[in-house]
A and B are shown apart, each in its own frame.
Chain A
Amino acid sequence: GAVVSQHPSWVICKSGTSVKIECRSLDFQATTMFWYRQFPKQSLMLMATSNEGSKATYEQGVEKDKFLINHASLTLSTLTVTSAHPEDSSFYICSASDASGRAGETQYFGPGTRLLVL
Chain B
Amino acid sequence: GEDVEQSLFLSVREGDSSVINCTYTDSSSTYLYWYKQEPGAGLQLLTYIFSNMDMKQDQRLTVLLNKKDKHLSLRIADTQTGDSAIYFCAEYQGGKLIFGQGTELSVKP
A positions within 8 Å CB-CB of B: 4, 6, 34, 42-44, 46, 49, 93, 95, 103-112, 114
Decide: A109 and B88 in contact? CB cutoff 8 A: no
CB distance from B45 to the nearest CB of A (A): 6
Who on chain B is nearest to A2 by CB? B45
Decide: A106 and B33 in contact? CB cutoff 8 A: yes
Is B96 engaged at the interface, CB distance under 8 Å to the other chain?
A: yes
Main SS of the interface on chain A?
A: strand
Q: Which residues of B contact A34 (CB under 8 A)?
A: 96-97
- 7 new A-B pairs (CB below 8 Å) besides A93-B43, A103-B31, A104-B50? A34-B96, A34-B97, A44-B43, A46-B96, A103-B48, A106-B31, A107-B97
Inter-chain CA distance A47–B101, complex, in Å, is: 16
Is B82 engaged at the interface, CB distance under 8 Å to the other chain?
A: no
Decide: A43 and B102 in contact? CB cutoff 8 A: yes
Who on chain B is nearest to A112 by CB? B42
Decide: A111 and B42 in contact? CB cutoff 8 A: yes
Task: Return the contact of A112 from the options B40, B96, B97 (Cβ within 8 A).
Answer: B40
